[in-house]
Copies of this chain bind each other. A is one copy, B any other.
Amino acid sequence: MTKKEIEQLLTAVRSGALEVGDALEQIQEMPYKDLEYAKVDYHRELRNGFPEVIYSPGKSLEQIQGIVADMLKRTKGNILASRADEQVYAAIRELTGDAVYYKDARSVVVKRQEYPVSEDYIAVVTAGTSDIPVAEEAAVTAMVMGNAVRRLYDVGVAGIHRLLDNVEVINRARVIIVVAGMEGALASVVGGLTDKPVIAVPTSIGYGANFGGISALLGMLTSCASGIGVVNIDNGFGAACMASKINQL
């Protein structure tokens, strides 16, 4: 509510055009106007097919069903339940036949709108096959959020010709998500090959001095290639959120 809007409201109260009670109601909600703006923005996202996301761990099947049932009524976009197992899928399946289970991605999508096909795609790249679950979480999340996605898997730097043979997938993307465990070197090599923003996801793939993903995390943070943003270990979801924000600018 701008200064001018408040002035108009007060003038309306004085003139009797607006009841004190109605004005009270409007002003009462004003304190967090800038924050309410975030809610407005959220509404916009719902209208645009950008769904609420349900993080499954720590929620009961009943809670998940409750949230999904409510969303089925209130929204028209795709619905995503992340880090979901087969039981979550079964629970959602009871509510709607539109539920699809992406096993690798550990994600359930209630698919009510087609995923977009576009040349403005997000590339999701992995170093090894073990990194694919995290990459799929990113890919499915990005698609559900309304982005085209191209996958390029198992192109780690130990056999760098695999990457170079497919460098066009990287160069034609608008944003690139690099998913890698162990030493995470793929992020540096990709970062050096492209002028597009790179989001790096360290994975906990590895053992010993990998320390649950620390080696990849530190490697990506200290990359010799500039302009790489890093998210938490195994956080495919977060990488897709950032990639989607960038792709939809």
Q: Does A136 contact B (CB under 8 A)?
A: no
Stretch at the interface among A68-76, A92-100, A111-119, A226-234: A226-234
Let me know if A208 and B204 touch, CB within 8 A.
yes
A11: which of B10, B20, B249 is its contact (CB, 8 Å)? B20
Annotate A221-242 by CB proximity to B: 1 below 8 A, 0 otherwise: 1111111111111110110011
- Range class of the A interface residue count: 35 or more
Those of A160-211 within 8 Å (CB) of chain B = 160-161, 164-165, 167-168, 171, 174, 182-185, 188-189, 191-199, 202, 204, 206-211
Let me know if B164 and A32 touch, CB within 8 A.
yes
Q: Does A144 contact B (CB under 8 A)?
A: no
A-side binding surface: helix, strand, loop or mixed? helix
A219: which of B11, B127, B204, B218 is its contact (CB, 8 Å)? B218
Q: How far is the CB of A212 from chain B (nearest CB, A)?
A: 8
Let me know if A208 and B233 touch, CB within 8 A.
yes
Q: How far is the CB of A192 from chain B (nearest CB, A)?
A: 4
Q: Does A64 contact B (CB under 8 A)?
A: no
CA distance in complex: A149, B114 (Å): 38
Do A241 and B222 form a contact, CB below 8 Å, given A184-B183, A189-B160? no
Let me know if B38 and A193 touch, CB within 8 A.
yes
CA distance in complex: A76, B32 (Å): 35
Annotate A85-109 by CB proximity to B: 1 below 8 A, 0 otherwise: 0000000000000000000000000
5 contacts across the A-B interface (CB closer than 8 A): A41-B195, A158-B188, A197-B246, A215-B218, A227-B241
